């Protein structure tokens, strides 16, 4: 506690270089990291729900997530290709 009070009263904080805007809490990079963390927590919640409430074995839950990843990659690839070739316009 006394170190913190001395840090403020002696104005030692002025000698510390500020954090880059890339690493600020409201930057795009940190917002993206937060979104990825929230996604991982949601996936963990879904895994727990599938294994504990639904009764799917752990390997079954992994299979569901693997198939979901493959299917979403397929859909994103098709949409990307369609946008590239102007199929949707």
Over residues 31-73, the pLDDT tens digits come to 999 999 999 999 999 999 999 999 999 999 999 999 999 999 9
Position 9 in a domain: yes
Closest of 12, 9, 28 to residue 20, by C-alpha: 28
Position 50 in a domain: no
Q: Is 56 left (phi over 0), alpha (psi -120 to 50) or beta?
A: beta
> Do residues 1 and 39 both lie within one domain?
yes
Q: What local confidence, expressed as pLDDT, does residue 89 receive?
A: 57
Position 62 in a domain: yes
Give the domain extent around 26: 1-44
Question: Of residues 68 and 26, which shows the higher confidence score?
Answer: 68
> Do residues 15 and 39 both lie within one domain?
yes
> Do residues 5 and 27 both lie within one domain?
yes
Position 49 in a domain: no
Position 5 in a domain: yes
Domains in the chain, number: 2
Q: What local confidence, expressed as pLDDT, does residue 17 receive?
A: 82
């Amino acid at each position: 506690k006394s170190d913190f009070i001395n840090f403020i009263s002696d104005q030692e904080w002025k000698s510390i270089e500020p954090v880059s805007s890339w690493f600020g809490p409201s930057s795009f990079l940190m917002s993206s990291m937060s979104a990825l963390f929230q996604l991982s927590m949601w996936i963990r919640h879904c895994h727990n729900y599938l294994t504990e409430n639904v009764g799917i074995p752990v390997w079954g839950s992994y299979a569901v997530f693997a198939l979901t990843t493959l299917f979403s990659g397929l859909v994103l690839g098709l949409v990307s290709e369609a946008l590239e070739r102007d199929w949707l316009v």
